Amino acid sequence: MTDLDAFRAEVRAWCADHIPADWRQTQTGVGEDEFVRFQKAWFAELHAAGYAVPHWPREWGGGMSVPQQVVLYQELAAHDAPRLVLAFVGIHHAASTLLVAGTEEQRRRHLPAILDGEIWVQGFSEPEAGSDLAALRTTARRVDDGDGHFVVNGQKLWASGGMHADWCLLLARTDPDAPKRKGISYFLLDMTTPGVEVRPIRNAIGDSHFCEIFLNDVRIPHTNLVGAENAGWQVAQATLGAERGMTMLELAERLANNGFRGLVDTSDVGDPLVADRLAQLETELTGLRGLCRKVVEENEGGSAGPADASVVKLYYSELLQRMTDFGAEIGGMAAQTELSKPASSGWESGSWVLDFIGSWEWTIPGGASEIQRTIIAERGLGLPREPSVG
């Protein structure tokens, strides 16, 4: 038995002992308080086993090799483990940002706190600055009043999980006269700060995890600035790179296991047209899994291409749409009428119609598909930028 086989056996045994068999039933229709309680309890279970942040450096509680991470995610998916919906931004985006650009003090303050259950939200998009993030208008004005603060005013939109968040990754404009990408700074915002107001937004499938965040004279200490002042655009690439790259390793395994397995189970595989579509989807899923693994390995080795993460994000999100669309198409009346889902499931709820509607969200956050294609064209293929009109 190889070391990887032994690790798989270890994870498989742990899953059999620790994953609640009835979590889908008990989490369907629950309120927000129960959702938060369950998510934090499940995160604590994974953390105690050493499985919560396998992608983090060893000194911060991670250190698994890429093959080990693949095995871990394969087994969690195969055993239908709940997904870490609530901790997602903290363990991926916040951690990646702090590890790449944070100070030692910021890392020591927040990385252990994330492992203890600290929840994060991403405050990037705005009403008129979504795909064109550099057009953001939230302002941060430096005030040297003895203790050193920035005073922030503005509004953020589509902040997933904002109503539960303890901290926010915030982009704000600190130099209004600089070119769009050169006058932005990156902050860590304590969500309990006076002047922060969160308003949930109900989406098309009945969830309210999207939020608006209103910032009215919010004071952020200078020590909560990440990277240099006016260099926040560069710091943000670490956050977006995590969203488009590393996070896809787990999501690809779940799509290939939970998602595709459920699709096969509800399909008439004797129908040649259905069998052909399933074969096509399985081929695409195999390619996605291989691509995700390659990108993560190259990223850890420092050889990842400038557009690789965008390729993964684009591939995953559009494959997710095609697969859930097919599930809704062949699921018959049951797929159209089963409109309840566990609060802790993410997209893989088993309700094909709800999952299909929810899949459209994935082609927008972290850079819409159109933006990803532009990045791939310019950074990956070296094509010239289209000249401005007017």
How far apart CA 73 and CA 36 sit, in angstroms, is 22
* DSSP per-residue codes, 289-314: HHHHHHHHHHHHTT---TTHHHHHHH
Gap between the Cα atoms of 129 and 378, Å rounded? 21
The residue with tokens 């003090």 is: 105
In angstroms, the CA 218 to CA 195 distance is 5
Residues forming beta bridges with residue 143, ordered by sequence position: 149
Coil, strand or helix: which one is 179?
coil
H-assigned helices in the chain: 3-18, 23-27, 32-49, 66-78, 88, 95-101, 104-115, 232-244, 247-254, 260-265, 272-300, 308-330, 332-337, 352-359, 369-375
Task: Find how far residue 146's CA is from the centre of its chain.
Answer: 38
Whether the Cβ atoms of residue 172 and residue 154 lie closer than 8 Å to each other:
yes
Are β-strands 184-190 and 167-173 bridged in parallel, bridged antiparallel, or unpaired? antiparallel
The span from the CA of 342 to the CA of 177, in Å, is 48
Asked if 178 contacts 231 with a C-beta cutoff of 8 angstroms, the reply is: no
71-66-318-99 Cα dihedral, nearest 10 degrees? 130
Q: How far is CA 376 from CA 188, 197, 235, 284, 311, in A?
A: 30, 37, 20, 19, 7
Give catalytic residue positions: 243
